[in-house]
Amino acid sequence: MTMPERDEPTGALVRPYAVTRGRTRPKLEIALEALVETTVRGRSGMIRGGQGGSEHQYIAAMCDGGRVQSLAEIAARMQLPLGVARVIVADMASDGLLAVYEPTSLEDETDAVGTELLERVLSGLRRL
């Protein structure tokens, strides 16, 4: 029994980068925890046989029907490197096939009620 050569890349290592045509920078910056959902345009593309490859079809199906997924979940379920998944999702979002919902930070929150609630929770935790 001979061992396979370690210098030769396997199809699994080469293929994801071929899907992105070697690009490593996404068209849009998408956070790891950003939520992704298939748009109406993305659904109609799936029904017609769609644009893109099987990865596009898989992501559109995975994020359809109210099943919102994070970018990290998409990469994990597809067993793709995060950078590759980010490029594919960004391409699909820029084509209007996916909607991306970026997380907001507390610094962006200007709601006084929300700030007051957080202060009360913090105060209660300190009393414990």
Triad 25, 26, 30: Cα angle to 5°: 125
Q: How far apart are CA 70 and CA 68, in angstroms?
A: 7
Has residue 112 got a pLDDT over 80? no
Please write the tens of the pLDDT for every residue from 20-35. 666 667 677 888 889 9
pTM (predicted TM-score): 0.65
Mean pLDDT of 84-110: 81
Rounded to 5 degrees, φ, ψ at 10 are -85, 165
Has residue 73 got a pLDDT over 90? yes
Has residue 13 got a pLDDT over 70? no
- CA dihedral angle for residue 111, residue 113, residue 119, residue 123, rounded to 10 degrees: -170
pLDDT value, residue 104: 73
- CA dihedral angle for residue 82, residue 18, residue 12, residue 73, rounded to 10 degrees: 20
